[in-house]
Amino acid sequence: MLSLPGHRCFALLKLKAITTPSHIKQIHAQLITNALKSPPLYAQLIQLYCTKKASPQSTKIVHFVFTHFDPPNLFLFNTLIRCTPPQDSVLVFAYWVSKGLLTFDDFTYVFALGSCARFCSLSTLWLGRQIHVHVTKRGFMFNVLVATTLIHFYASNKDISSGKKVFDQMPMRSSATWNAMINGYCSQSKKAKDCAFNALVLFRDMLVDVSGVKPTDTTMVCVLSVSSQLGLLEFGACVHGYMEKTFYMPENDVFIGTALVDMYSKCGCLDNALLIFSRMREKNVLTWTAMATGMAIHGKGNEAIRLLDSMRDCGVKPNAVTFTSLFAACCHAGLVEEGLHLFDNMKSKWGVEPHIKHYSCIVDLLGRAGHLEEAYNFIMGIPIKPDAILWRSLLSACNVHGDVALGEKVGKILLQLQPEVTFVDVACTSEDFVALSNIYASAERWPDVESVRKQMKVKRVETEPGSSILQTTTHYTLDGFR
């Protein structure tokens, strides 16, 4: 093996496009042979190991590269936790915190919090809170980037209230800070409507904030998503008008254009969505999928299917989500033959492997049309193990069409999928028992109804009480809510 000078090794490390795992090891050996201990060179090496040689052993190798320096180098440590996978990065950071041999800077905390945000668990939530304490003690909370990443961390770990506290205490905020907080509200699955409303209030506050921070394209996409989620056509139209006046033509941005198509479609204005869609200069697969979803919502099954040919003509390949939207369009429009034909061509013609959601869509399509035996045979013939959602879809169709015999068979299959009775809390769901009980009741088989109810008592299954929601009309504008 020939010895290479330091500048030659650096040049090779820069050639990422042609570097293979074997080349990385050779360059690594050259660095050791030539006794080169330059942190920039080893930082490049760590990045190459993490990108070109992604494997469970990568973390051990790059950790060895880092420990080659004595004392530990902070620049290399920051590179290590930035480049390694989140779960590995969190473990490495926690280990070196316990060692106490490094004094971290603001970049360290930003990378560590970013890893905790991407790898969400109870342990990372605890670690992120400890980091919060450290950055507060060391005065790094005045760093906008650190505080913004902390907000993102809390939002990713579903602790949005802690993220809001950090946001409120910040003396200065960037557009990224506002975006992190607004997007954090949008990402909350629990109390989704309340959080979505808070996102709109925060957007209004951003517009009148004295610091003069202006919304970015990321902000607008997130706010349009909230308008779509809540069905707020008036607010979404106001956002559209605001962008027309202060930004540029939204149709020139593929992401904003896609968000507008999605918003208008889901808020009931399909014509506006089609107009935006036709004006867009660039469309990606998300744009076409949003348009197909809009067609599905409005019962335009044939038009949605024709989008596939238009996508092909534009050189855009559909993905799995696109086909889910197309199957939904067929379900709403009752296009059984078209949906089955689309499913048959899904892999052979378009190269998209069917997932469990696609099989569920076909079962729903056949069940809605009353082809219950075909749906049952379809489930029995799929190459993967059917889940409870597939069987529930068929059971619902049996209940609608009054097929007691098949409904009883499917209901018993679902009950077999229920967890066994234990002495601890039982995670049984009541919907399968109730659905089977309703099928028996529709056929006036009362002894069977009583038998199902007894099973529910034995398994300690409780039905969820019914509830209703009364939604008052609220007018939303960019100036406020009234």
Looking at residue 86, its pLDDT comes to: 87
CB–CB of 290/256 below 8 Å? no
Specify the pairing of strand 480-481 against strand 476-477. antiparallel
Backbone φ and ψ for 165, nearest 5 degrees, come out as: -65, -45
Q: Residue 113 contacts by C-beta under 8 Å, 6 or more apart in sequence?
A: 128, 131, 146, 149, 150, 152, 153
In the structure encoding, which two tokens stand for residue 141, read together?
């909370």
pLDDT < 50: residue spans in the chain: 1-3, 15-18, 421-428, 468-473, 481-482
CA-wise closest residue to 398 among 385, 411, 412: 411
Question: What CA–CA distance (Å, rounded) separates 478 from 413?
Answer: 52
Task: Please provide the distance, in angstroms rounded to a whole number, between the alpha carbons at the two ends of the chain.
Answer: 76
Looking at residue 404, its pLDDT comes to: 83
CA distances from 439 to 114, 239, 284 (A): 51, 48, 45
Question: What CA–CA distance (Å, rounded) separates 410 from 360?
Answer: 15
Please, what is the average pLDDT of the chain?
A: 82
Q: In angstroms, how far apart are the furthest CA atoms of the chain?
A: 88
The single residue listed with the structure tokens 């200069």 is 281
Question: What CA–CA distance (Å, rounded) separates 137 from 132?
Answer: 9
pLDDT tens column, 93-128: 888 888 888 889 999 999 999 999 988 877 888 999
CA-wise closest residue to 318 among 276, 354, 283, 288: 288
pLDDT tens column, 66-97: 877 878 889 989 988 988 888 888 888 888 88
Question: What CA–CA distance (Å, rounded) separates 312 from 180?
Answer: 36
Radius of gyration of the chain (CA): 28
pLDDT tens column, 169-185: 999 999 999 999 999 99
Task: Return the HEC string of the chain.
Answer: CCCCCHHHHHHHHHCHHHCCHHHHHHHHHHHHHCCCCCHHHHHHHHHHHHHHCCCCCHHHHHHHHHHCCCCCCHHHHHHHHHHCCHHHHHHHHHHHHHHCCCCCCHHHHHHHHHHHHHCCCHHHHHHHHHHHHHHHHCCHHHCHHHHHHHHHHHHHCCCHHHHHHHHHHCCCCCHHHHHHHHHHHHCCCCCHHHHHHHHHHHHHHHHCCCCCCCCCHHHHHHHHHHHHHHCCHHHHHHHHHHHHHHCCCHHHCHHHHHHHHHHHHHCCCHHHHHHHHHHCCCCCHHHHHHHHHHHHHCCCHHHHHHHHHHHHHCCCCCCHHHHHHHHHHHHHHCCHHHHHHHHHHHHHCCCCCCCHHHHHHHHHHHHHCCCHHHHHHHHHHCCCCCCHHHHHHHHHHHHHHCCHHHHHHHHHHHHHCCCCCCCCCCCCCCHHHHHHHHHHHHCCCHHHHHHHHHHHHHCCCCCCCCCCCCCCCCCEECCEEC
Looking at residue 434, its pLDDT comes to: 74
Looking at residue 164, its pLDDT comes to: 93
Looking at residue 1, its pLDDT comes to: 44
CB–CB of 27/1 below 8 Å? no
